[in-house]
Amino acid sequence: MRAAFIQTLVELAAQDERILLLTADLGYLAIEPFADRFPDRFFNVGVAEENMLGVATGLADSGFIPFVYSIVPFAVLRPFEFIRNGPIMHRLPVRIVGVGGGFEYGHNGLTHYGVEDVGVMRTQPGIRVVAPADHEQTRTALRRTWNVAGPVYYRIGKDDRTVVTGLGGRFELDEVQTVRPGRDVVIAAMGSIAPEAVAAAEQLRKQGVDAEVIVVASIHPAPERSLLSVLRRFPVCVTVEAHYLSGGLGSLVAEVIAEASVPCRLARCAVRELPIGVTGSQRFMHERSGLDRAAIVRRTLEALKTGGNA
Amino acid sequence: MNPNELTVQSLRRIILDQSFRARVGHIGSALCVADLVHALYHQVLRISAPADQDRDRFILAKGHAALALYGVFYQKGWITGEQLNSYCADNSLLGVHPDRGLPGVDFATGSLGQGLSIGAGAALSARLQKSARRVYVLMSDAECNEGACWEAAMFAAHQRLSNLTAIVDVNGQQALGYTRDVMDLQPMADRWRAFGWSVAEIDGHDVAQIVAAVKPGSDRAPRVVLARTTFGKGVSYMQNQIKWHYWPMSDDEYKQAVREIGGQS
């Protein structure tokens, strides 16, 4: 996704001189296409994320569209108050690019995981959060949103090969994308974990359960209308996200269900425990957190067994 | 003294009148920077109108002194007397800290340590856009406790942002004590110099020194002006007193303050 993001950004920057790229000294073997093509519009500001967001605020106020780039926790959590008092409070088009949503930096441990970023950003009115599910959707999402008013947070992954079957690179603001139609249950996924949700639906099919799968990439503000049109058709919704239980996709769906009084039971596959004292690959961390296809299948069958309240 | 004059005495009177009317504090901080803010807006900043894209930018990084800013905006005719009199009232744009919605406020502040980074971005913008506009950031000395100030200081020096001037209001005190007791900032000039800045040290109440010091130097470094000031300047019982960081005035204190700055209560 990050290669697709940077490549698309290069294409956009060739057409619009307002686009700048700032990095806090991260992005080796990722950002070079931009840095090489536009050396005067690329700034490595050093390992100083708060200043990066402050500088971006000053740049955006003067008419630029600065993209600031780092690994998720360093792009979101470290400079969070600068994001709040800068681009959000001043309604400026700063684009925050966080690489590595979830456990993408597997062996690097919790300091490098992005497991609360969506929850943190969702607290703020006035910023959009976009979490593409694969590199094809990343391209479309960037093309649809780079020029919107106000700030945007992009939560992207590192995988530039895997695609979500049925997604076909589609993205629209305030819309969810159905990647597999179904009748019995809907599985909603956010981010690069989406292929596991599709794989789970395929396994469920073999067990006689017809699961619909949707991708929620335009995540904040909540795509309520689009989401509700799906949720109203199912007695059970299972959410899948490489994110803490609180604040992410599961929370969002719970809020939408509750406020609209939709008769849909919710089951959440999310990170429930502090991921410390253990390390491993992204795949291992997904399995440990109950986010792999087998766990999604189990959770879906449990939820269907205990029944929706429809 | 007439509060409608464009003098710095009149600015101090506005600060006292509004603080007293609204019964809010931060009086000492606003009085402290009155000479700096007055000199900058009346003699240094090139601002044809608050909406002019090519105006010089000013960032009050120590946002809690915003009343000094509002007073100058009133003197410049950017806000009305009615607006000024809404300071800290319900449904007002004029709070203790400056809001971007108010014409003349280039950036909203109030969280210490953020202004210099934003100023560096504004200065970099001017350079990229080949504009001669300059950026001035007025910081507090205690604000330099914030690590982000030094991130910005390194960045501005590395980028050779000579169109950026920081002014540090060196009044030697902060919310709960004197800076030398809370977190000693000395040797401050050496610290800024070591970070690659051109340093000037002045009396922050001497207008001629202020105007001369904030002008760009011949080198390619950003400039910092360390302005020695007296907290609560002009009102004897406030001067260098920690209490007047937050304290509001009583009736008698207000009358005495007005007398001391040369007005009639």
CATH code, domain with A65: 3.40.50.970
Q: Are residue A149 and residue A11 in the same domain, yes or no?
A: yes
- Taking an 8 Å cut-off on Cβ atoms, the answer to whether B111 and A57 are in contact is no
Q: Are residue A182 and residue A148 in the same domain, yes or no?
A: no
Could you please state the CATH topology (level 3) that the domain comprising B8-260 is classified under. Answer: Rossmann fold (3.40.50)
- Taking an 8 Å cut-off on Cβ atoms, the answer to whether A51 and B117 are in contact is yes
pTM over cut 0.90? yes
- Domain locations in chain B? 8-260
Q: Are residue A146 and residue A8 in the same domain, yes or no?
A: yes
Q: Is the pLDDT of residue A309 over 80?
A: no
- Taking an 8 Å cut-off on Cβ atoms, the answer to whether A64 and B125 are in contact is yes
> Is residue A192 within 8 Å of residue A102, measured between CB atoms?
yes
CA distance B224 to B150: 13
The 10 Å CB-count burial string (b at 16+, else e) for A54-89 is: bbbbbbbbbebbbbbbbbbbbbbebbbebbbbbbbb
Does residue A137 form part of some domain?
yes
| Interface residue ranges in chain A relative to chain B, Cβ cutoff 8 Å | 40, 43, 45-46, 48, 50-51, 53-64, 81-82, 85-86, 89-90
Contact list, B118 vs chain A (CB under 8 Å)? 54-55, 57-58, 61, 86
A145 burial level (CB within 10 Å; 0-12, 13-18, 19+): middle
Q: Are residue A141 and residue A216 in the same domain, yes or no?
A: no
Does this complex have an ipTM over 0.85?
Answer: yes
CA distance B214 to B198: 11
Domain limits for position A242: 177-305
> Is residue B263 within 8 Å of residue B13, measured between CB atoms?
yes
Mutation site, A21, A62, A90, interface B, largest B CB count within 10 A:
A62
Query: Kind and range of the H or E element at B8?
Result: helix B8-22
A293 burial level (CB within 10 Å; 0-12, 13-18, 19+): buried
CA distance B115 to A55: 10
A189 burial level (CB within 10 Å; 0-12, 13-18, 19+): buried
Tens-digit pLDDT profile for residues B225-241: 999 999 999 999 999 99
Mutation site, A25, A51, A81, interface B, largest B CB count within 10 A:
A51
Does residue A102 form part of some domain?
yes
| Overall domain count for chain A | 2
What tokens were used for B143?
């604000």
Q: Are residue A144 and residue A188 in the same domain, yes or no?
A: no
Q: Are residue A139 and residue A201 in the same domain, yes or no?
A: no
Contact list, B128 vs chain A (CB under 8 Å)? 40, 59, 64
What tokens were used for B133?
């506009």
Task: Tell which of A93, A122, A156 closes a domain.
Answer: A156
- Taking an 8 Å cut-off on Cβ atoms, the answer to whether B148 and A85 are in contact is no
Contact list, A82 vs chain B (CB under 8 Å)? 114, 117, 148
Tell me what pLDDT residue A114 has: 98
Does residue A161 form part of some domain?
no
Nearest to B108 among A56, A59, A90 (CB): A90
Q: Which residue of B has its CA nearest to A44?
A: B155
CA distance A300 to A26: 38
CA distance B9 to B259: 11
What percent of chain A has pLDDT above 70? 99
Tens-digit pLDDT profile for residues B50-94: 999 999 999 999 999 999 999 999 999 999 999 999 999 999 999
Q: Are residue A145 and residue A220 in the same domain, yes or no?
A: no
How far A89 CA lies from chain B's nearest CA (Å)? 8
Which stretches in chain B have pLDDT values below 70? Answer: 1-3, 217, 264-265
Q: Which residue of A has its CA nearest to B123?
A: A58
CATH code, domain with A214: 3.40.50.920
CA distance A184 to A109: 37
Does residue A77 form part of some domain?
yes
Q: Are residue A81 and residue A126 in the same domain, yes or no?
A: yes
